[in-house]
Structure 1
């Protein structure tokens, strides 16, 4: 068995280590479905379990994999097949009381999203929600971020969903010997060898990281860091360097400092969830009229909605917010080894022009900031992997949790929030014969990234918006959905002028 494909990467392990009593590191999706075409007009846990049993092998990281820990935490965990894997053990069903409206669904999803996954089993679960109004149902699926990134999540959805109500035939797979993690003695030996080699690997990671320190959210704004990074990039340009691909040639950008907001305080364990839709054709029309992309419009809508929300509370900062935008390294072909080595994701940190009152000027500022930061990311975007590997495995858990606890206590705010725009298919999909009417992402909040996360997913002509927050800090994120609609109307008026 290849260690490369079975062991968690350093980035995967960060997501495991980040979990605390207030932080859960799973990502989820909420599919609202029309189950009319299902047998009996109802999607059942049994039907879902049968589907997963026949298609689990199609997922990019098989849904039957569980964690295998290395003794004494000497190394990163491994993935292995669960010998007792049964999809039915991961699927439950709840029924909303009448009237089964969207507010009830949002509250139910928030409670589900607060619960940690069982690490003794494969790290996913599905909840079928019955009793929605108008004969609808919903399917909430969460997967630990250690097991999957955004691209892998999309590929998993493609494996489970169909293009027509009639499920496609999937060829049976011959039974194979379960893939097992190395024996404990081999794990310990490999872990000790990695610890012995870590100073060399860490030195190389430091060398690659120094020229990009000002790209690390929060770190780049610390006194002297930007100057050190610029000097390192200058050394690279002179050929005296720190290795290749370390940020030489990246356009210079002044590191942004995230201002204080009501959602940048220590988070609690409770979550609030809201969801809504924006018409994709109108967003595209606005983008064409104003000379921007769909992503530019989405970011400008978020800036306007956040500005309104903060201003109503007398909490609007004089400077822009700082948003973290997840970027897949798979799509930029910088995964390193070209193989499926787990999470291949980084964060683009960009100003979000909430301080600009005029809608036209705000849109122009958002677009310009995104273009400038994407220019830097194109050269220096893979810092996450290097930073994640700086600490040896035996100390990584403590270091990650210390960083999470220290951020709110020290006042260090790397980001104000996460904003993510995920393109999806523009045609209807089906689950066990049920048409998927909408698909709302539900992501992660942390003390470091902020107690608010806005993720959008374009699907079948709409932009489906999923917002999750710390309930103590943003108790009703549905207000932000309303502000997004107001912001789109504002830009539509601007586009007509």
Structure 2
């Protein structure tokens, strides 16, 4: 049955163009089990392909028609071709992380075919260290970062000896059906019901909006900001992408957070702040005012807690709000930057706790409105950006995980860049490590590798600043 698409999800289809692909991605490195090699991992995945079994979420493709009043909806692809979605690639020699990053950068810059379900998976051989790589991309209209994470998580186990795990694209033994079975002719009615539900929240929205505007005028944390300066990151972009990644021990960030009376996410933001400050200083392009980061927060399941938590639904989609965080890049001292971040995030979370999810989404949409209008109407970057960069921290597995004996060795996230937002930083935790994935426009933000070195230096500086 056709399923209506939420306005939030449809924006990612409306705003997409050749220069602005709007999919998220992930790069997984698998360590083959003892006595096996990368070819054995590929053979296991190839065997799963022959089953031609795909979870319902990954069979959905976007459509719109006159009967849906031009609104986007989802329908099941009854001619699904698994060979189109799962592809094989091999690295050029010498087969290191440099070659892997270059391949993934090229793959991440190409558009997904809208006539088919909006996802691809690339099985990559040729790493000289014996590991096997899998790069996946999925359109942001179909799943947000946490939703994509759950697709991976459901195919993994903590049992290294278990050998009957399904592939990430396959359904589980119990296929969960989408919650909404609205028919195509019911789509306009569904839109009306959504509007009525939203109207019920309007009474509380006015004071929430007033409070958010006042906080923004005072440069306090919340879903809106009027303080972001123009920077070298806020320029028009092209379709070519560049991707780099690196991991750090999560215990190092956890200890800094403990000594600073903050959170791991505060440390992620402070590391990013210091790395961006160093990168811009080297180019003589550091703004006098501090950079502002948009920090997505999940609204799934634990509705009262605006944190990056929770399991996404099997229907996919996006259930996120956002906070604006003062990165304190005008401070030369790393401790001062961390304190600016910590204070801004505390203020923002306090503000969101008094709102319903609908109100959070509405105010988050207003906070990002200049960028959304720019994306939808094809302008070339806002005069004053609503924020300078998106920095996300997507929670991953907390224990070692395996797929049919192959250990999940690393998981690197890839995200979206837009006109006016030429760089994105997304982090993912796996076991006891945290991976930073940097996705940037190849022309607007060249040479991303130095930012990884700056992140390393900044973590060491934060450790020193808090007395570790």
Q: Under TM normalisation by the shorter chain, which class is it?
A: 0.7 to 0.9
1:330 lines up with 2:305 in the alignment: no
1:466 aligns with 2:462: no
For the residues of structure 2 that align with 1:177 and 1:287, how far apart are their CA atoms? 40
RMSD value, Cα: 3.8
Q: Which residue of 1 aligns with 2:345?
A: 370
* CA deviation profile, 1:391-413 (whole Å, cap 9, x unmatched): xxxxxxxx966554566455030
Identify which of 334, 350, 356 aligns with 1:359. 334
Q: Distance in 1 between matches of 2:216 and 2:344?
A: 18
Instruction: Quote the Cα distance in structure 1 between the aligned partners of 2:223 and 2:74.
Output: 40
Map 1:392-431; keep pairs closer than 5 Å: 403-405=375-377, 408-431=380-403
Equivalents in 2 of 1:145, 1:254: separation in Å?
Answer: 22
Provide the C-alpha distance between the structure 1 equivalents of 2:446 and 2:87, rounded to a whole number of angstroms. 27
Distance 1:494 1:35, change over 3 A: same
1:319 is the counterpart of 2:289: yes
Aligned to 1:111: 106
Which residue number corresponds to residue 309 of structure 2?
Answer: none
Could you tell me which runs of 5 or more consecutive residues in structure 1 were left unpaired when the two chains were aligned. 228-249, 391-398
| Residue matched to 2:308 | none
1:177-196 equivalent positions in 2, closer than 5 A: 187=184, 189-190=185-186
Quote how far apart the aligned CAs of 1:158 are. 1.8
TM-score of the superposition, structure 2-length normalised?
0.83
Pair 1:495 & 2:428 matched: no
Q: What is the total number of aligned residue pairs between the two structures?
A: 450
SS at match of 2:129: helix
Partner SS, residue 100 of structure 1: coil
- 1:277 equivalent in structure 2: 247
Give TM-score scaled by structure 1 length.
0.79
Correspondence 1:122 to 2:117: yes
Q: CA deviation at 1:493?
A: 1.7
SS of residue matched to 1:467: strand
Equivalent position SS for 2:93: coil
CA distance in 2, matches of 1:478, 1:298: 18
* 1:31 lines up with 2:28 in the alignment: yes
Determine which structure has the larger helix proportion and give its number: 1
Q: Distance in 2 between matches of 1:108 and 1:26?
A: 17
Residue number in structure 2 paired with 1:241: none
Q: Which residue of 161, 168, 172 corresponds with 2:164?
A: 168
Partners of 2:96 and 2:128 within 8 A in 1: yes
For the 8 Å contact 1:309–1:483, the answer to whether it is kept is yes
Matches within 5 A, 1:295-314: 295-314=265-284
Tell whether the 8 Å contact from 1:425 to 1:460 is kept in structure 2 after alignment.
yes
1:190-233 per-residue CA deviation (whole Å, 9 max, x = no partner) reads 455568889877866776655455788xxx59xxx979xxxxxx
Q: Report the structure number with the largest CA radius of gyration.
A: 1
Maintained 8 Å contact 2:304/2:353? no
